[in-house]
Amino acid sequence: MWEKFRAIFTIPELRQKIFFTLILLAVFRVGYQIPLPMVNQQHIKENLARQGEGDFFRFMQQVSVFSAADLRRITIFGLGIMPYISASIILQLLGSVYKPLEDLRKEGETGRKKINEYTRYLTVLMCLIQGWGWLSTQVYANGPESIAPDFTSGPGSGAMHWSWFLTSMLIMTCGTLFVMWLGEQIDEFGIGNGISLLIMAGILAQMPQALIDFFNPETFKATLTGFKDTGIEHVIVLAVLFVAVVAGVVFITLGQRQIPTQSAKHVRGRRVYGGNRQYLPLRLNQAGVMPIIFASSLLMLPAMLFGGLARLVQTSADSGNIWEKVYLALSSLQTMFGSQTSFVYNLSYVGLIYFFSYFWMAITFNPKEIAENLKDFGTFIPGYRPGRRTAEYLDKVMVRITYVGAAFLALVAIVPTVISGLLSIQPNVASFYGGTGLLIAVSVAFDLIQKIDSHLVMRDYRGLLEQ
């Protein structure tokens, strides 16, 4: 294994790509720490510590996982890469229902460049929208006098001056565009997918703090005393469980259903071409991490909605009147959807993951188009006629394997909740045992290894995944 790693740095081109990528990731992490001017960062940190695990805190922590940013802090990279991801998802969904975009996708490299250009324009718009929403949420949660006392509209007004919003939105928009540029430079001159590497860097950067919190003398002792028997064996159990979860994620991530295909024979002159038997790989986890992202984000809304309604009717709730019953009902619903350990929350979580898994599969996987492509290249699936019958067969297979993939995603999504609840582990530590962060990290790591393997194999070296 060490010989394989040594071979990586013996190839000048590959070595330059790796160092260039590491330098840009370092630049991203430096900018990640630069606070937004005019903001009282210390008060925001203290306010979040007082809120603990409230709805707002959990929402910020959840979105931070896949945005390559820490939305609990106000920095120049405060929005991370989330506006670019949102713009990409919107255009991808529109490409399935909007004819001009669908035609662009079929034009190859030219169409891809045009779609990328539209994505950049839409990213600027998403930066302004999400920046305004995020800043407004921070002002509401912390108070305008506490965030930027020099930019309030007036003493006791409780409102922030418009110039602060405009300046902050423009700074964060420039920060997001710079992060997007870093990702594009990694794509062109580095190695791996730039945007994915930035997201993985943001996820892995949380691991040192999680380990510090876990091995903190007070919290570590409290964690161990939560078990019936205290001892270091519980740490060993957690380590073994982490390895088992990662191994399961790797197994399912690489899992494929291989559909046998046969190419038709044709004669040219005295030579016979075709007739080869190949396979059409269909991934078990076709949707990737998107179902978990959509489901977790959507599940934040009911708790926040019921909590807001409960606060509205609380002033009218007197002992014995109808508003008191409404307030108690809304508070119960807020607890059901706001607690990650509740049965209703986890059941809704699993149901939404299944729904979005099939939804994303229907958007991104087109069995009719694949069947037509196989037919055009003279390839068919044995036992099924080219065209409609092949498309129906592929659709039936995808429905079945998506069920298995959605079950895997649901299991990975609730593992952190189970570990945090049963073993009294802090949520930031338990998050590394499953969920969106682990799936993204594993997927990006394998993509990076495959890119490195392609350089090694081209120069007659053994790949990292070869035995």
For residue 392, count other CB atoms closer than 10 A to its CB: 14
Between the CA of residue 139 and those of 40, 51, 76, 120, what are the distances in Å?
11, 15, 17, 28
Give phi and psi for 67, each to the nearest 5.
Answer: -110, 0
Quote the CA–CA distance of 290 and 315 in Å, as a whole number.
Answer: 40
pLDDT tens per residue, the chain (467 residues)? 676 677 777 788 888 888 999 999 898 888 878 888 777 766 666 666 665 555 555 555 655 655 656 656 678 887 888 888 888 878 877 877 778 887 887 777 788 888 888 889 999 998 888 888 777 777 766 666 667 666 665 554 456 667 778 888 898 899 889 988 998 899 888 888 888 888 888 777 777 776 776 666 555 554 544 444 445 666 777 778 778 878 888 888 788 888 888 877 666 666 766 667 788 888 888 877 778 777 876 777 787 777 777 777 766 666 566 777 777 787 888 777 777 777 888 888 889 889 988 888 888 888 888 888 888 877 888 888 888 898 899 999 999 999 988 888 888 888 777 777 666 666 666 666 666 777 778 888 888 888 888 877 777 666 666 65
Task: Find, among 464, 434, 467, 417, the residue nearest to 53 by Cα.
Answer: 417
Give pTM, 2 decimals. Answer: 0.74
Q: Is the dihedral of CA 331, 336, 338, 342 positive or negative?
A: positive
336, exposed or middle or buried, with CB in 10 Å at 0-12, 13-18, 19+?
middle
11, exposed or middle or buried, with CB in 10 Å at 0-12, 13-18, 19+?
middle
Catalogue all structural domains in the chain, each as residue range(s) with its CATH number: 16-205 (1.10.3370.10)
Our CA angle for 308, 313, 318, nearest 5°, is 145
